[in-house]
Amino acid sequence: MTTTVQCPTCNTGVRWVTENTHRPFCSQRCQQIDFGDWATESFSIAGDSVMDSASLGTEDVDS
């Protein structure tokens, strides 16, 4: 009895077993693709957020 999940990157069925170190991904390639997308998106949002905070902080100090 094995649980099967879908790879978030390519939707391939992945058996949820200890031997599959890349679960829920089907392979290291899909794991890296998904992490790359997340990291890029997160970095972009964080950068904008930091810039906004810096601008607001400066305004508060001046006024």
Residue ranges in contact with Zn ion by CB under 5 A: 7, 9-10, 12, 26, 30
Q: Which is nearer to Zn ion, 5 or 10 (CB)?
A: 10
Helix H, strand E, coil C: the string for the chain is CCCEEECCCCCCEEECCCCCCCCCCCCHHHHHHHHHHHHHHHHHHHHHHHHHHHHHHHHHHHC
Choice between 12 and 44, CB closer to Zn ion: 12
**Least CB distance from residue 41 to Zn ion, whole Å?**
19
Nearer to Zn ion, 16 or 43 (CB): 16
